[in-house]
Amino acid sequence: MKVLGINASPRGNESNTLQLVKSVIKGAESEGADVELIDLYKLQIEYCTGCGACYATGECPQIDDFEELFDRIVNSDGIVFGAPNYINSVPAPMKAFFDRLSDVVHCQMLAGKFGCSVSTAGGNKADVVVDYMNSVLTNMGVTVVGGLGVVMGGDPAAPQQAAGTAEELGKNLVKSIRGEITYPDQEELHRQNTEYFCQLVKSNKEKFAHDYDWYVRMGLIK
Q: pLDDT tens track of the chain, all 222 residues?
A: 999 999 999 999 999 999 999 999 999 999 999 999 999 999 999 999 999 999 999 999 999 999 999 999 999 999 999 999 999 999 999 999 999 999 999 999 999 999 999 999 999 999 999 999 999 999 999 999 999 999 988 888 998 999 999 999 999 999 999 999 999 999 999 999 999 999 999 999 999 999 999 999 999 988
Write down the pTM of the prediction: 0.95
11 residue type, one letter? R
- How confident is the model at residue 154, as a pLDDT? 84
24 residue type, one letter? V
Could you tell me which residues come within 8 angstroms of residue 78 by beta carbon, excluding any fewer than 6 positions away? Answer: 1, 2, 3, 4, 28, 33, 113, 114, 115, 173, 174, 176, 177
1 residue type, one letter? M
Characterize 114-151 residue by residue with b for buried, 16 or more Cβ atoms within 10 angstroms of its Cβ, and e for exposed.
bbbbbbbbeeebbbebbebbbebbbbbbbbbbbbbbbb
Give the distance from CA 10 to its chain's centroid. Answer: 18
- How confident is the model at residue 50, as a pLDDT? 95
Q: From residue 82, how far is each of 103, 149, 173, 213 by CA, in Å?
A: 22, 10, 15, 33
Reduce the DSSP state of residue 140 to 3 states and report it: coil
- How confident is the model at residue 222, as a pLDDT? 82
- How confident is the model at residue 93, as a pLDDT? 96
Answer yes or no: are the C-beta atoms of 22 and 96 closer than 8 Å: no
CA nearest to 47, candidates 85, 7, 97? 97
Measured distance CA(7)–CA(40) in Å, rounded: 6
**E-assigned strand segments in the chain:** 2-7, 34-39, 78-82, 114-121, 143-151
